Structure 1
Protein backbone atom coordinates (compact mmCIF):
# COMPACT_ATOMS: atom_id res chain seq x y z
CA UNK A 1 0.00 0.00 0.00
CA UNK A 2 2.76 2.44 1.01
CA UNK A 3 4.80 1.47 -2.04
CA UNK A 4 1.82 2.06 -4.32
CA UNK A 5 1.28 5.50 -2.75
CA UNK A 6 4.94 6.49 -3.25
CA UNK A 7 4.84 5.45 -6.92
CA UNK A 8 1.68 7.46 -7.42
CA UNK A 9 3.27 10.60 -5.90
CA UNK A 10 6.44 10.19 -7.96
CA UNK A 11 4.41 9.85 -11.16
CA UNK A 12 2.51 13.02 -10.32
CA UNK A 13 5.78 14.95 -9.75
CA UNK A 14 7.30 13.76 -13.03
CA UNK A 15 4.12 14.60 -14.93
CA UNK A 16 4.02 18.10 -13.43
CA UNK A 17 7.70 18.65 -14.29
CA UNK A 18 7.09 17.48 -17.87
CA UNK A 19 4.15 19.84 -18.33
CA UNK A 20 6.18 22.71 -16.83
CA UNK A 21 9.15 21.94 -19.11
CA UNK A 22 6.88 21.94 -22.16
CA UNK A 23 5.67 25.43 -21.23
CA UNK A 24 9.20 26.87 -21.25
CA UNK A 25 10.72 28.69 -24.21
CA UNK A 26 13.59 26.85 -25.86
CA UNK A 27 16.85 28.75 -25.31
CA UNK A 28 18.24 27.13 -28.45
CA UNK A 29 15.35 28.69 -30.36
CA UNK A 30 16.20 32.12 -28.97
CA UNK A 31 19.86 31.69 -29.91
CA UNK A 32 18.91 30.58 -33.42
CA UNK A 33 16.67 33.63 -33.87
CA UNK A 34 19.56 35.90 -32.86
CA UNK A 35 21.91 34.06 -35.22
CA UNK A 36 19.59 34.42 -38.23
CA UNK A 37 19.00 38.12 -37.51
CA UNK A 38 22.73 38.88 -37.21
CA UNK A 39 23.57 36.81 -40.30
CA UNK A 40 20.95 38.54 -42.45
CA UNK A 41 22.26 41.94 -41.34
CA UNK A 42 25.89 41.04 -42.03
CA UNK A 43 25.20 39.46 -45.44
CA UNK A 44 23.72 42.75 -46.64
CA UNK A 45 27.20 44.31 -46.33
CA UNK A 46 29.79 41.52 -46.36
CA UNK A 47 30.54 38.30 -48.20
CA UNK A 48 30.79 35.12 -46.12
CA UNK A 49 30.44 36.62 -42.61
CA UNK A 50 30.83 34.30 -39.65
CA UNK A 51 28.44 34.60 -36.69
CA UNK A 52 29.21 33.22 -33.24
CA UNK A 53 26.42 33.23 -30.64
CA UNK A 54 27.28 33.26 -26.93
CA UNK A 55 25.42 30.49 -25.08
CA UNK A 56 22.65 31.75 -22.83
CA UNK A 57 22.47 30.97 -19.12
CA UNK A 58 20.81 27.54 -18.89
CA UNK A 59 19.13 28.56 -15.62
CA UNK A 60 16.97 31.10 -17.49
CA UNK A 61 13.27 30.17 -17.44
CA UNK A 62 10.91 31.93 -19.87
CA UNK A 63 7.34 31.08 -20.72
CA UNK A 64 7.01 29.61 -24.20
CA UNK A 65 6.02 32.15 -26.82
CA UNK A 66 2.78 31.48 -28.70
CA UNK A 67 3.77 33.63 -31.66
CA UNK A 68 6.93 34.18 -33.64
CA UNK A 69 9.94 35.57 -31.79
CA UNK A 70 11.00 39.02 -33.00
CA UNK A 71 14.61 40.21 -33.09
CA UNK A 72 15.99 43.75 -33.00
CA UNK A 73 19.20 45.64 -32.39
CA UNK A 74 20.16 49.24 -31.66
CA UNK A 75 23.57 48.83 -33.34
CA UNK A 76 24.20 49.41 -37.03
CA UNK A 77 23.51 46.50 -39.37
CA UNK A 78 27.05 46.72 -40.83
CA UNK A 79 28.68 46.45 -37.39
CA UNK A 80 31.42 43.84 -37.12
CA UNK A 81 32.73 42.47 -33.85
CA UNK A 82 30.48 42.25 -30.81
CA UNK A 83 26.75 42.94 -31.17
CA UNK A 84 23.79 42.57 -28.82
CA UNK A 85 20.59 41.21 -30.34
CA UNK A 86 17.30 41.65 -28.51
CA UNK A 87 14.71 38.85 -28.72
CA UNK A 88 11.12 39.73 -27.84
CA UNK A 89 7.94 37.73 -27.18
CA UNK A 90 4.51 39.38 -27.09
CA UNK A 91 2.12 36.59 -26.10
CA UNK A 92 0.97 35.01 -23.86
CA UNK A 93 3.49 36.79 -21.61
CA UNK A 94 5.64 39.69 -22.74
CA UNK A 95 9.37 39.23 -22.22
CA UNK A 96 12.61 40.43 -23.77
CA UNK A 97 16.07 38.91 -23.52
CA UNK A 98 19.40 39.95 -25.04
CA UNK A 99 21.85 37.67 -26.79
CA UNK A 100 25.52 38.48 -27.42
CA UNK A 101 26.91 37.61 -30.84
CA UNK A 102 30.18 38.25 -32.63
CA UNK A 103 30.34 39.07 -36.34
CA UNK A 104 33.61 38.05 -38.01
CA UNK A 105 34.53 39.03 -41.56
CA UNK A 106 37.77 37.72 -43.03
CA UNK A 107 39.53 39.85 -45.63
CA UNK A 108 43.03 39.83 -47.22
CA UNK A 109 44.59 42.90 -45.59
CA UNK A 110 48.03 44.47 -46.07
CA UNK A 111 50.51 43.85 -43.23
CA UNK A 112 54.19 44.53 -42.66
CA UNK A 113 56.28 41.69 -44.09
CA UNK A 114 59.04 42.57 -41.59
CA UNK A 115 59.79 45.26 -39.01
CA UNK A 116 59.47 48.65 -40.69
CA UNK A 117 60.94 51.98 -39.60
CA UNK A 118 59.28 55.37 -39.29
CA UNK A 119 59.57 57.54 -42.44
CA UNK A 120 60.45 54.48 -44.52
CA UNK A 121 59.25 54.63 -48.13
CA UNK A 122 57.48 51.34 -48.77
CA UNK A 123 58.44 48.88 -51.49
CA UNK A 124 56.44 45.89 -52.65
CA UNK A 125 58.74 43.56 -50.70
CA UNK A 126 58.00 45.42 -47.44
CA UNK A 127 54.38 44.27 -47.29
CA UNK A 128 52.20 41.23 -47.89
CA UNK A 129 48.52 40.32 -47.62
CA UNK A 130 47.10 37.92 -45.03
CA UNK A 131 43.55 36.94 -44.09
CA UNK A 132 42.41 38.76 -40.94
CA UNK A 133 39.16 39.42 -39.13
CA UNK A 134 38.48 43.08 -39.92
CA UNK A 135 36.36 43.41 -36.77
CA UNK A 136 39.66 43.44 -34.85
CA UNK A 137 41.10 46.27 -37.00
CA UNK A 138 39.45 49.26 -35.34
CA UNK A 139 41.90 51.77 -36.86
CA UNK A 140 41.03 50.68 -40.38
CA UNK A 141 42.84 48.51 -42.91
CA UNK A 142 44.13 48.46 -46.49
CA UNK A 143 43.17 45.75 -48.99
CA UNK A 144 45.70 46.22 -51.79
CA UNK A 145 49.51 46.55 -51.67
CA UNK A 146 49.23 48.89 -54.66
CA UNK A 147 47.76 51.49 -52.32
CA UNK A 148 50.83 51.58 -50.06
CA UNK A 149 53.85 51.10 -52.34
CA UNK A 150 55.68 54.42 -52.61
CA UNK A 151 53.97 55.79 -49.50
CA UNK A 152 55.90 56.80 -46.40
CA UNK A 153 55.29 55.45 -42.90
CA UNK A 154 54.39 57.87 -40.13
CA UNK A 155 55.70 55.50 -37.44
CA UNK A 156 57.47 52.16 -37.11
CA UNK A 157 55.55 48.90 -37.43
CA UNK A 158 56.29 45.43 -36.10
CA UNK A 159 56.26 42.48 -38.48
CA UNK A 160 52.70 41.27 -39.14
CA UNK A 161 51.05 44.55 -38.10
CA UNK A 162 48.20 45.65 -40.37
CA UNK A 163 48.80 48.92 -42.18
CA UNK A 164 46.10 51.56 -41.81
CA UNK A 165 45.43 54.81 -43.68
CA UNK A 166 46.57 56.63 -40.55
CA UNK A 167 49.95 54.87 -40.59
CA UNK A 168 50.84 56.37 -43.99
CA UNK A 169 51.73 59.84 -45.14
CA UNK A 170 52.17 61.17 -48.61
CA UNK A 171 55.70 62.05 -49.60
CA UNK A 172 56.52 65.69 -50.14
CA UNK A 173 57.15 66.05 -53.84
CA UNK A 174 58.18 69.72 -53.66
CA UNK A 175 60.76 71.03 -51.20
CA UNK A 176 61.19 74.62 -50.03
CA UNK A 177 63.89 76.34 -52.11
CA UNK A 178 63.57 73.81 -54.92
CA UNK A 179 63.56 74.99 -58.51
CA UNK A 180 60.18 74.22 -60.06
CA UNK A 181 58.36 74.74 -63.35
CA UNK A 182 55.44 77.16 -63.24
CA UNK A 183 52.73 76.23 -65.71
CA UNK A 184 50.05 78.76 -66.64
CA UNK A 185 47.13 78.35 -69.02
CA UNK A 186 45.93 81.24 -71.16
CA UNK A 187 43.07 79.89 -73.23
CA UNK A 188 44.53 77.16 -75.42
CA UNK A 189 48.06 78.43 -74.84
CA UNK A 190 50.34 77.04 -72.15
CA UNK A 191 53.14 79.13 -70.70
CA UNK A 192 56.01 77.59 -68.72
CA UNK A 193 58.32 79.59 -66.49
CA UNK A 194 61.02 78.83 -63.96
CA UNK A 195 60.33 79.45 -60.31
CA UNK A 196 61.34 78.60 -56.76
CA UNK A 197 59.11 76.89 -54.20
CA UNK A 198 58.76 78.85 -50.98
CA UNK A 199 57.41 75.91 -48.93
CA UNK A 200 57.22 72.13 -48.84
CA UNK A 201 54.20 70.48 -50.40
CA UNK A 202 52.56 67.20 -51.32
CA UNK A 203 50.53 66.48 -54.44
CA UNK A 204 47.53 68.81 -54.67
CA UNK A 205 48.79 71.34 -52.10
CA UNK A 206 48.44 75.06 -52.78
CA UNK A 207 51.82 76.74 -52.24
CA UNK A 208 53.60 80.04 -52.80
CA UNK A 209 56.25 80.16 -55.51
CA UNK A 210 58.53 82.93 -56.75
CA UNK A 211 58.79 83.63 -60.46
CA UNK A 212 62.53 83.56 -61.22
CA UNK A 213 62.20 86.20 -63.97
CA UNK A 214 59.98 88.77 -62.24
CA UNK A 215 60.63 87.85 -58.58
CA UNK A 216 56.87 88.03 -58.17
CA UNK A 217 55.38 85.66 -55.58
CA UNK A 218 52.30 83.78 -56.80
CA UNK A 219 50.22 80.86 -55.57
CA UNK A 220 49.82 77.63 -57.42
CA UNK A 221 48.76 74.00 -57.03
CA UNK A 222 51.32 71.18 -57.10
CA UNK A 223 50.46 69.02 -60.12
CA UNK A 224 53.48 66.68 -60.15
CA UNK A 225 57.02 66.54 -58.74
CA UNK A 226 58.59 69.91 -59.54
CA UNK A 227 55.51 71.19 -61.39
CA UNK A 228 53.17 73.91 -60.08
CA UNK A 229 50.04 75.07 -61.88
CA UNK A 230 49.51 78.84 -61.52
CA UNK A 231 46.74 81.18 -62.67
CA UNK A 232 47.67 84.08 -64.95
Structure 2
Protein backbone atom coordinates (compact mmCIF):
# COMPACT_ATOMS: atom_id res chain seq x y z
CA UNK A 1 0.00 0.00 0.00
CA UNK A 2 2.86 2.33 0.81
CA UNK A 3 4.41 1.74 -2.59
CA UNK A 4 1.12 2.53 -4.32
CA UNK A 5 0.87 5.86 -2.51
CA UNK A 6 4.36 6.77 -3.55
CA UNK A 7 3.52 5.93 -7.13
CA UNK A 8 0.45 8.13 -7.01
CA UNK A 9 2.45 10.99 -5.53
CA UNK A 10 5.12 10.64 -8.18
CA UNK A 11 2.54 10.76 -10.94
CA UNK A 12 0.85 13.81 -9.38
CA UNK A 13 4.19 15.62 -9.09
CA UNK A 14 4.97 14.94 -12.74
CA UNK A 15 1.61 16.43 -13.80
CA UNK A 16 2.28 19.57 -11.75
CA UNK A 17 5.70 19.91 -13.40
CA UNK A 18 4.13 19.70 -16.86
CA UNK A 19 1.54 22.36 -15.97
CA UNK A 20 4.31 24.60 -14.67
CA UNK A 21 6.20 24.28 -17.95
CA UNK A 22 3.06 25.20 -19.92
CA UNK A 23 2.49 28.28 -17.75
CA UNK A 24 6.09 29.32 -18.25
CA UNK A 25 5.75 29.03 -22.03
CA UNK A 26 2.56 31.12 -22.02
CA UNK A 27 4.26 33.87 -20.04
CA UNK A 28 7.00 34.39 -22.67
CA UNK A 29 6.84 37.73 -24.61
CA UNK A 30 5.03 37.49 -27.93
CA UNK A 31 8.10 38.90 -29.72
CA UNK A 32 10.11 35.89 -28.54
CA UNK A 33 7.70 33.57 -30.35
CA UNK A 34 7.03 35.40 -33.63
CA UNK A 35 7.30 38.71 -35.47
CA UNK A 36 4.03 39.97 -36.91
CA UNK A 37 4.03 41.20 -40.53
CA UNK A 38 2.25 44.39 -39.48
CA UNK A 39 5.04 45.20 -37.00
CA UNK A 40 7.69 44.72 -39.70
CA UNK A 41 5.70 46.86 -42.14
CA UNK A 42 5.40 49.68 -39.58
CA UNK A 43 9.14 49.52 -38.83
CA UNK A 44 9.99 49.95 -42.53
CA UNK A 45 7.56 52.88 -42.86
CA UNK A 46 9.19 54.60 -39.88
CA UNK A 47 12.70 53.91 -41.24
CA UNK A 48 11.95 55.38 -44.68
CA UNK A 49 10.18 58.45 -43.28
CA UNK A 50 13.10 59.13 -40.94
CA UNK A 51 15.48 59.20 -43.93
CA UNK A 52 13.49 61.61 -46.11
CA UNK A 53 15.38 64.80 -47.06
CA UNK A 54 14.73 67.81 -44.84
CA UNK A 55 13.14 69.74 -47.73
CA UNK A 56 10.43 67.08 -48.24
CA UNK A 57 7.30 67.95 -46.27
CA UNK A 58 4.77 65.68 -48.01
CA UNK A 59 5.46 62.13 -49.15
CA UNK A 60 3.36 59.02 -49.69
CA UNK A 61 5.17 55.82 -48.75
CA UNK A 62 4.03 52.41 -49.97
CA UNK A 63 5.81 49.31 -48.67
CA UNK A 64 5.29 46.12 -50.70
CA UNK A 65 4.96 43.44 -48.01
CA UNK A 66 5.19 41.46 -45.91
CA UNK A 67 1.86 39.83 -46.71
CA UNK A 68 -0.70 40.18 -43.88
CA UNK A 69 -0.87 37.13 -41.65
CA UNK A 70 2.71 36.02 -42.22
CA UNK A 71 4.68 35.43 -39.03
CA UNK A 72 8.45 35.27 -38.75
CA UNK A 73 10.70 33.86 -36.02
CA UNK A 74 10.96 36.20 -33.06
CA UNK A 75 13.76 38.77 -33.17
CA UNK A 76 15.59 40.45 -30.32
CA UNK A 77 16.32 43.53 -32.46
CA UNK A 78 15.29 44.28 -36.06
CA UNK A 79 18.03 45.88 -38.16
CA UNK A 80 16.96 48.01 -41.14
CA UNK A 81 19.07 49.44 -43.93
CA UNK A 82 18.85 50.43 -47.60
CA UNK A 83 19.70 47.76 -50.16
CA UNK A 84 21.98 49.36 -52.74
CA UNK A 85 21.46 53.08 -53.37
CA UNK A 86 18.81 54.58 -51.08
CA UNK A 87 17.32 57.12 -53.48
CA UNK A 88 15.80 59.74 -51.15
CA UNK A 89 13.40 60.98 -53.85
CA UNK A 90 12.36 57.76 -55.55
CA UNK A 91 11.79 54.04 -55.32
CA UNK A 92 14.10 51.99 -53.13
CA UNK A 93 14.53 48.65 -51.36
CA UNK A 94 14.86 48.22 -47.60
CA UNK A 95 16.43 45.18 -45.95
CA UNK A 96 14.99 43.92 -42.67
CA UNK A 97 17.54 41.75 -40.92
CA UNK A 98 17.08 39.63 -37.79
CA UNK A 99 20.47 38.51 -36.43
CA UNK A 100 18.94 36.19 -33.84
CA UNK A 101 17.99 34.11 -32.07
CA UNK A 102 16.69 32.58 -35.35
CA UNK A 103 18.31 34.66 -38.15
CA UNK A 104 16.29 35.75 -41.19
CA UNK A 105 16.30 38.60 -43.72
CA UNK A 106 13.67 40.31 -45.91
CA UNK A 107 14.01 42.61 -48.93
CA UNK A 108 10.99 44.93 -49.15
CA UNK A 109 10.44 47.26 -52.15
CA UNK A 110 9.33 50.78 -51.24
CA UNK A 111 7.59 53.22 -53.57
CA UNK A 112 7.81 56.94 -52.80
CA UNK A 113 5.51 59.63 -54.17
CA UNK A 114 6.93 63.03 -53.30
CA UNK A 115 5.41 66.31 -54.43
CA UNK A 116 7.44 69.48 -54.84
CA UNK A 117 6.89 72.97 -56.19
CA UNK A 118 7.66 73.18 -59.90
CA UNK A 119 7.75 76.22 -62.18
CA UNK A 120 5.77 75.73 -65.40
CA UNK A 121 4.92 77.89 -68.40
CA UNK A 122 1.64 79.69 -67.73
CA UNK A 123 1.02 79.84 -71.48
CA UNK A 124 2.74 78.88 -74.73
CA UNK A 125 6.00 80.81 -75.04
CA UNK A 126 8.25 81.39 -78.01
CA UNK A 127 12.02 80.96 -78.20
CA UNK A 128 14.04 84.03 -77.31
CA UNK A 129 11.46 85.42 -74.90
CA UNK A 130 12.73 87.16 -71.80
CA UNK A 131 10.59 85.65 -69.06
CA UNK A 132 8.58 87.70 -66.59
CA UNK A 133 6.31 86.72 -63.69
CA UNK A 134 3.19 86.59 -65.88
CA UNK A 135 4.78 83.88 -68.04
CA UNK A 136 5.16 81.48 -65.13
CA UNK A 137 3.08 79.45 -62.66
CA UNK A 138 3.94 77.17 -59.75
CA UNK A 139 2.30 73.75 -59.31
CA UNK A 140 2.91 70.60 -57.26
CA UNK A 141 4.32 67.67 -59.24
CA UNK A 142 5.52 64.15 -58.41
CA UNK A 143 9.32 64.10 -58.42
CA UNK A 144 9.33 60.71 -60.19
CA UNK A 145 7.80 62.37 -63.26
CA UNK A 146 10.29 65.26 -63.42
CA UNK A 147 13.43 65.55 -65.47
CA UNK A 148 16.60 66.93 -63.95
CA UNK A 149 16.98 70.67 -63.50
CA UNK A 150 13.33 71.52 -62.80
CA UNK A 151 13.01 74.94 -61.13
CA UNK A 152 11.25 75.41 -57.82
CA UNK A 153 10.93 79.20 -57.74
CA UNK A 154 9.88 81.71 -60.45
CA UNK A 155 12.77 83.95 -59.38
CA UNK A 156 15.12 81.41 -60.90
CA UNK A 157 13.60 82.03 -64.34
CA UNK A 158 12.51 85.69 -64.36
CA UNK A 159 14.78 87.75 -66.61
CA UNK A 160 16.24 84.67 -68.29
CA UNK A 161 15.83 83.93 -72.00
CA UNK A 162 14.08 80.84 -73.39
CA UNK A 163 16.31 78.85 -75.70
CA UNK A 164 13.31 77.27 -77.46
CA UNK A 165 9.54 77.47 -77.44
CA UNK A 166 7.45 75.80 -74.74
CA UNK A 167 3.82 74.74 -74.34
CA UNK A 168 1.53 75.84 -71.54
CA UNK A 169 2.02 73.60 -68.49
CA UNK A 170 5.51 72.47 -69.49
CA UNK A 171 8.04 72.50 -66.58
CA UNK A 172 10.81 75.06 -66.95
CA UNK A 173 14.29 73.61 -66.48
CA UNK A 174 17.72 75.18 -66.21
CA UNK A 175 18.76 73.70 -69.58
CA UNK A 176 15.95 75.65 -71.28
CA UNK A 177 17.25 79.04 -70.18
CA UNK A 178 19.99 81.45 -71.16
CA UNK A 179 21.12 84.55 -69.36
CA UNK A 180 19.97 87.76 -71.10
CA UNK A 181 22.34 89.54 -73.49
CA UNK A 182 24.08 92.40 -71.73
CA UNK A 183 26.22 93.46 -74.72
CA UNK A 184 24.85 94.20 -78.19
CA UNK A 185 26.68 94.50 -81.49
CA UNK A 186 27.46 98.14 -82.38
CA UNK A 187 27.47 99.34 -78.77
CA UNK A 188 30.52 100.80 -77.08
CA UNK A 189 31.79 98.74 -74.18
CA UNK A 190 34.52 99.07 -71.61
CA UNK A 191 37.34 96.61 -72.14
CA UNK A 192 39.64 95.63 -69.30
CA UNK A 193 43.01 94.11 -70.06
CA UNK A 194 44.15 92.18 -67.00
CA UNK A 195 47.28 90.26 -66.07
CA UNK A 196 50.11 90.12 -63.50
CA UNK A 197 48.19 92.39 -61.11
CA UNK A 198 47.75 95.08 -63.79
CA UNK A 199 44.40 96.30 -65.10
CA UNK A 200 44.08 98.68 -68.07
CA UNK A 201 40.72 100.03 -69.26
CA UNK A 202 39.87 101.19 -72.78
CA UNK A 203 36.80 101.64 -74.98
CA UNK A 204 35.83 99.34 -77.86
CA UNK A 205 32.95 98.65 -80.21
CA UNK A 206 31.18 95.32 -79.69
CA UNK A 207 31.08 93.31 -82.91
CA UNK A 208 28.75 90.64 -81.46
CA UNK A 209 25.98 90.25 -78.95
CA UNK A 210 27.07 88.68 -75.68
CA UNK A 211 25.80 87.13 -72.44
CA UNK A 212 27.74 86.92 -69.16
CA UNK A 213 30.53 84.38 -69.52
CA UNK A 214 30.37 84.39 -73.34
CA UNK A 215 33.42 85.26 -75.47
CA UNK A 216 32.82 87.94 -78.15
CA UNK A 217 34.82 90.05 -80.59
CA UNK A 218 35.33 93.77 -79.97
CA UNK A 219 37.28 96.48 -81.90
CA UNK A 220 39.60 98.76 -79.96
CA UNK A 221 38.63 102.37 -80.86
CA UNK A 222 42.20 103.67 -80.54
CA UNK A 223 44.18 100.96 -82.31
CA UNK A 224 41.48 99.48 -84.52
CA UNK A 225 42.62 96.04 -83.41
CA UNK A 226 39.99 93.28 -83.14
CA UNK A 227 40.31 91.22 -79.97
CA UNK A 228 38.28 88.56 -78.18
CA UNK A 229 37.20 88.94 -74.58
CA UNK A 230 34.75 87.54 -72.05
CA UNK A 231 31.55 89.38 -71.17
CA UNK A 232 30.95 90.17 -67.50
CA UNK A 233 27.60 90.36 -65.72
CA UNK A 234 27.83 94.18 -65.82
CA UNK A 235 28.31 94.33 -69.58
CA UNK A 236 32.07 94.93 -69.70
CA UNK A 237 34.57 92.78 -71.59
CA UNK A 238 37.72 91.32 -70.01
CA UNK A 239 40.79 90.46 -72.08
CA UNK A 240 43.75 88.63 -70.50
CA UNK A 241 47.32 89.64 -71.38
Q: TM-score range by the shorter chain?
A: 0.7 to 0.9
Question: Highest Rg: 1 or 2?
Answer: 2
Question: Is the aligned partner of 1:73 residue 2:88?
Answer: no
Which of 115, 139, 162 is 1:130 aligned to? Answer: 139
Distance 1:119 1:185 in 2: 32
Question: Following TM superposition, where does structure 1 have runs of at least 4 consecutive aligned residues deviating by more than 6 angstroms?
Answer: 185-190
Instruction: Give RMSD over aligned pairs.
Output: 3.0
Which of 106, 109, 116 is 1:100 aligned to? Answer: 109
1:207 match: secondary structure: strand
- Describe the shift of the 1:89–1:58 C-alpha distance in structure 2 as closer, same or farther (beyond 3 A): same
In the alignment, is the contact (CA less than 8 A) between 1:182 and 1:230 conserved in 2? no
Question: Is the aligned partner of 1:38 residue 2:38?
Answer: no
In the alignment, is the contact (CA less than 8 A) between 1:31 and 1:99 conserved in 2? no
Deviation larger for 121-130 or 202-211: 202-211
- Describe the shift of the 1:78–1:66 C-alpha distance in structure 2 as closer, same or farther (beyond 3 A): closer
Aligned to 2:187: 179
Aligned to 1:164: 173
Per the TM alignment, residue 80 of structure 1 is displaced from its structure 2 partner at its CA by 0.6
In the alignment, is the contact (CA less than 8 A) between 1:41 and 1:77 conserved in 2? no
Per the TM alignment, residue 141 of structure 1 is displaced from its structure 2 partner at its CA by 1.6
Per-residue CA distance 1:41-78 (angstroms, 9 max, x = gap): 115x3342424123425278453232121111145556
Distance 1:94 1:51 in 2: 31
Per-residue CA distance 1:161-181 (angstroms, 9 max, x = gap): 221111222334335x53331
Aligned to 1:196: 206
Distance 1:63 1:149 in 2: 57
Q: How does the TM-score come out when normalised to structure 2?
A: 0.71
Distance 2:140 2:104 in 1: 41
Per the TM alignment, residue 182 of structure 1 is displaced from its structure 2 partner at its CA by 2.8
Per-residue CA distance 1:142-177 (angstroms, 9 max, x = gap): 1221111122223332222221111222334335x5
Which of 37, 41, 46 is 1:27 aligned to? Answer: 37
Equivalent pairs counted in the alignment come to: 208
In the alignment, is the contact (CA less than 8 A) between 2:120 and 2:171 conserved in 1? yes
2:47 match: secondary structure: helix
Distance 2:148 2:199 in 1: 47
In the alignment, is the contact (CA less than 8 A) between 2:86 and 2:93 conserved in 1? no
